[in-house]
Amino acid sequence: MAERLFGVETEYAIAGVSGGAEMDREQLLERIMAHARRQLVQLPDLNSSGGFFLGNAARFYGDCGAHPEFCTPEVAHPWDAVRYVEAGHRILAGLAASVESASPPGTRIFCFRGNVDYSGSNSTWGCHESYMHRISQDALQPQIVPHLVTRLIYTGAGGFNPLAQGLEFTLAPRMAHFRRLVTQSSTSERGIWHSKSESLCSGYSRLHVLCGESLCSETAAYLKIGTTALIVAMADAGHQPGGGVQLADPLAAMHEVAADATCRKPLRMADGGYRTAISIQRHYLMHAEGHLRDGFMPSWAPEVCRRWRELLDKLEHAPSSVDKTLDWGIKHALYANHARGLNLRWDDLPLLNLVIDQLVAVLAARKDPEKAMPLELAIAPQRRMPKDIAPFAPLLREHGCDWEDLRTLLDCRKEFFEIDTRFGQLGPEGIFQALDRASVLNHRIGERESIEDAVTQPPATGRAQLRGRVIQRLAASGNARCDWQCVIDYSSGQVLDLSNPFASRESWSPLRPQHDDAHLSRAEEQGPYERRQDAADRILTGDFAGAEAIVRSLLAEQFMMPSSHCHLARVLLMTGREAEAREQIAAAWAIRRDAPSYVVARMIFFQLVFAMLDGAGINPIVARIRAALAESGAHLDWTIRPMLDHLRPRLGETNYEFMRALADALSDASALPDLDEFPQWRDTATPPPA
């Protein structure tokens, strides 16, 4: 039995370029999920339509804001958490490469384990943690908050303050978006302490940590999980590891820690004294080392404490010595070196940032709106220096700087932001990946083989092992669904109970109505994209009535009308209502200008089906679909095979085989050459552009 369980949720930023234009992110996410549906061993997620639980027991889905998210399975060792997070990176990178190869030449897909957006959108991507515990939240909060605030000295991703006007290096860029001590939301008004209490298992509560960041360093990721889990274990056992280190203002302290690359800034304590982040971390380490032989401590605790102590010693004696080990240390050295190459003195940044903030305030305070201008223009060398800005020149000279230093900083600011974004890029072009391949870093914890194993295999302990094993067994059936606490096999009418997080044997029972009722009640809370995918999943499991109800509700809401009309037509054809299906496709065709190119191709596919059912000539329609498939973005995974199988007796074998090949080509551009085997395709010319 595992001693305690935890997991990590990673949100990814994605972007794509095709034909010289930026790809729509919603459509890009759909393409990634479509390739996941086709390539990965998975069962549909019972609670998040369009998402999956994978054969390694992890969860993969598209989250709000059109970004993919990977949740590791429940694990019992910090190294397992690290390797399953890395497995998620590899899975997503593989899917992105697959989408890219199936797209027109010149298409590029980018995925990032980033934390903040520097474009001014104020977007941030979370890396949340979950820890199982029994102690009440009220009792746990004071024990853990000082740790969450000060662990940034080794868990910070490094980068720049995305809300600053200048170029402010920070240990933890995502912390700029945290404005509260306590929050109930994970997407707005972010706080250090998340009061969410959804346990996802029986008998335990779940600590859901929001104030973490996606990391590249294995050492940093290992200690982030390991140290936090030990503190939760001590609190769970009735000890008070946070006693004596309560902060006067945890939120202010967190921002101070993030801004201090020396790790030595004194933080005001609740008792009126001052302690550094390193001192507070040593306090927690001392408590952990004092309980290493206690029965409640996990077997891996001594190794975590050893690495914890070694790192705190490095940070205390020479913070720069982590420049090959921790994310923020690697970045700090990288950016300081890049600044020297730009003739920008890194040590001058605090002064230059201060002047920039003051200048921006002066420009914003101008009473005449016509005199408002961006700072770059106000200090341009060809302009006469405005009177309200000129007084800052002596301050710059006093510290050996001048206006040119300020201009250099503003000119290269975006360059640094781009480097920071590319640092966490997945795949061989990522900067961290390149540094790691060059063997110039010293951050690794475990064996590479175990990471590759985590891509396909579940952990060895707890219910995650059962979930992964059952998913691998049922994935090919196409008639089962999964969530954290159960697997439902609709073919056998059985449900696997996974509510016990330490379950070691499969426990199946008859499927009862309340399982589907609970699913329906959760579906009502889903967004339209999730509901549309839910309808598609229900078609595959034979729940045509449920699928139809969802699609009609989407049409009533006028959600992506052309696509929704096509979804409804599919249900209608499979339930013997062909006349209504034709009406739906006619309605979609009338508003085809509002549809993406892949939906237009699907409309023509339906028109071709109807022509075949009528025994009419198909050459003009085949010509139209040839032209449609030549458009950018015309291919997207489409599970239309069940409908074709249903219509097979009426289509006849020749038409059925052709339509199967055509459906494959609509899903994947690489299948287009297979159509040349069919005279219906080969003998029809593509019409010239209108």
Q: Are the C-beta atoms of residues 569 and 585 closer than 8 Å to each other?
A: yes
Q: With both helix axes pointing from N to C terminus, report the angle between 597-614 and 561-574 in degrees, rounded to the nearest 10.
A: 30
Is 497 in the active site? no
**Can you tell me the distance from the alpha carbon of 636 to that of 658, in angstroms, rounded to the nearest whole number?**
18
Q: Are the C-beta atoms of residues 229 and 300 closer than 8 Å to each other?
A: no
**Can you tell me the distance from the alpha carbon of 661 to that of 672, in angstroms, rounded to the nearest whole number?**
8
**Can you tell me the distance from the alpha carbon of 66 to that of 123, in angstroms, rounded to the nearest whole number?**
12
Look at the block and give the residue holding tokens 């978006």.
177
DSSP designation for 405: H
Other C-beta atoms closer than 10 Å to the C-beta of 593 total 7
**Can you tell me the distance from the alpha carbon of 172 to that of 152, in angstroms, rounded to the nearest whole number?**
7
Other C-beta atoms closer than 10 Å to the C-beta of 414 total 12
Q: Which of 45, 63, 260, 327 is catalytic?
A: 63
Rg (the chain; Cα; Å): 28
**Can you tell me the distance from the alpha carbon of 81 to that of 184, in angstroms, rounded to the nearest whole number?**
25
Look at the block and give the residue holding tokens 């458009």.
631
DSSP designation for 247: B
Long-range contacts of 27-32 (CB under 8 A, 24+ apart): 27/596, 27/633, 27/636, 28/66, 28/99, 28/109, 29/62, 29/66, 29/67, 29/68, 30/62, 30/636, 31/99, 31/636, 31/637, 32/62, 32/68, 32/92, 32/95, 32/96, 32/99
**Can you tell me the distance from the alpha carbon of 268 to that of 266, in angstroms, rounded to the nearest whole number?**
7
**Can you tell me the distance from the alpha carbon of 331 to that of 661, in angstroms, rounded to the nearest whole number?**
50
Strands 52-54 and 42-44 come out as antiparallel
**Can you tell me the distance from the alpha carbon of 571 to that of 174, in angstroms, rounded to the nearest whole number?**
45
Q: Are the C-beta atoms of residues 166 and 408 closer than 8 Å to each other?
A: no
**Can you tell me the distance from the alpha carbon of 594 to that of 563, in angstroms, rounded to the nearest whole number?**
10
Helix or strand run (H / E) with residue 68: strand 67-71
Start-to-end Cα distance in the chain:
68
Catalytic residues, by residue number, are 63
